Amino acid sequence: NQKLLEVRNLKTHFFLEQGIVRAVDGVDFTVFRGQTVGLVGESGCGKSVMARSILRIVPPPGRIVDGEILFHQGVGKGSTGQSGQEDVIDLVKLDPMGSKIRSIRGGEISMVFQEPMTSLSPVHTIGSQIIEAIVLHQPVTKEEAREQAIHMLERVNMPHPNRTIDRYPHQLSGGMRQRAMIAMALSCRPSLLIADEPTTALDVTTQAQILTLMRDLQEEFGMAIIFITHDLGVIAQMVDYVVVMYLGQVVEMADVNTIFYDPKHPYTQALLRSIPRLGRKSAQGQTGRLTAIRGSVPDPYARPQGCPFHPRCRKAIRGVCDQQDPPFLEVEEGHKVRCVLYQ
Ligand code: SF4
Ligand code: MG
């Protein structure tokens, strides 16, 4: 198992008038080549900021204040991994406007969003945008890039790629825009794709199609995926390894089966209880969405002392959980929990 990305003690904070929001506050996890890692948690837990930190697109007043994001370059290209050379670079150290991160962004690491118009321009045809991405990262002519773009549109099952390539985003349906964004994100064969709630805005049928498509493309291209979602049904279907976040910290991480069948952290347990028909479809075809769990996410400006989850935790020990920071313990190989109960 070759390491592709190592996030080490990452802290991304937002400096606002009302105070400091520690959106990501000491996060550690590793992504191996070809692996799918799910980042899960309620909205506001820091998962999107985590993703944007990797690509160095954190909007001001947010800033990475500590930690490392080690990217093993040259490891994930192609499916055979024959490249002997590997270069480890710390993405935190790069100038966020510099040429180095720009060559990595969209070339080796790309991102798809919930809202395709986050990455698609409304004033250019989807073809010209995909072609531009290809020409920026690969030594090909415009004609070759157009061929590749059509091929990618075919691969994402876009209807009539030869014609669709010359359409503007507003001329496409939501599902087709999502396919165009995926085609653009994958056009340079990234070794890492970051997918931030990529199917949340879609109807159930299109959602299922896009998820299947992403899995097929992952197998074909051998890329790793960081899949960000609050939908545990999607997690069950898509990922190998799960990182559960709460208020900017990782509270538990383990392989997907362990998370579903042997969750240790009271927050993970509450998340799982909140979905009655996990991974199964109800009569309406709805997968189990994360519904509210007891209490709400606390005020990000006033994080509780001690374990941040203690005001909502059924198992909280008074005088302990509200006082001391719980340790991050390895309960089994590859399974870590931030909770005093496992001390
Ligand atoms: Fe609950 Fe205490 Fe564990 Fe936090 S440390 S999750 S409050 S038992
Ligand atoms: Mg988000």
Please determine, for residue 294, whether its predicted confidence score (pLDDT) is greater than 50: yes
Tens of pLDDT along 227-245? Answer: 999 888 889 989 999 999 9
ipTM of the complex: 0.96
pLDDT at residue 32 greater than cutoff 90: yes
What pTM, to 2 d.p., does this model score? 0.89
Q: Domain end: 167, 189, 211, which one?
A: 189
Tell whether the torsion through CA atoms of 239, 242, 247 and 248 is positive or negative: negative
Ligand positioned closest to the Cα atom of 343? 1
The answer to the question of residue 316 being in a domain is no
**CB under 6 Å to ligand 1: residues?**
265-266, 307, 309-310, 313, 315-317, 321, 326, 339-341
pLDDT for position 66? 98
Closest ligand 1 atom to the C-alpha of 317? 2
User: How many domains would you assign to the chain?
Assistant: 2
pLDDT tens by residue, 307-322: 999 999 989 999 999 9
Distance (angstroms) between ligand 1 centre and the Cα of 307 equals 6
pLDDT range class, residue 285, cuts 50, 70, 90: very low
Domain co-membership, 137 together with 207: no
Note the ligand closest to the C-alpha atom of 322: 1
DSSP 8-state code for residue 66: E
What atom in ligand 1 is closest to the CA of residue 322? 7
**Residue 238 domain flag:** yes
CATH number assigned to the domain comprising residue 101:
3.40.50.300
- Domain residue limits at 44: 3-108+190-297
Query: Predicted confidence band at 12 (pLDDT cuts at 50, 70, 90)?
Result: very high
| Residue 211 located in a structural domain | yes
Confidence tier at 205 by pLDDT (50, 70, 90) = confident
Claim to verify: residue 169 and residue 44 sit in the same structural domain: no
Asked whether residue 209 falls in the same domain as residue 167, the answer is no
**What confidence score (pLDDT) does residue 82 get?**
52
Taking the CA of residue 314 as reference, the ligand 1 atom at the shortest distance is 1
Looking at the fold, whether 195 and 184 belong to one and the same domain comes out as: no
Evaluate if residue 261 carries a pLDDT over 70.
yes
HSE-up (13 A, CA, CB side) for residue 31: 32
**Other CB atoms closer than 10 Å to residue 176's CB: what's the count?**
21
Query: Rg of the Cα trace of the chain?
Result: 20
Same domain, 14 and 145: no
197 within some domain = yes
Q: Which of 313, 328, 331, 337 has the most ligand 1 atoms within 8 A of CB, as the residue to mutate?
A: 313
Which among 161, 189, 217 is the end of a domain? 189
- What is the enclosing helix (H) or strand (E) of 184? helix 174-186
* Distance (Å, whole) CA 56 – CA 10: 12
CA distances 276 to 111, 290, 291, Å, are: 31, 10, 10
Q: Is residue 320 part of a domain?
A: no
Same domain, 288 and 174: no
> Is residue 301's pLDDT more than 90?
no
d(CA 60, CA 336): 32
| pLDDT value, residue 293 | 67
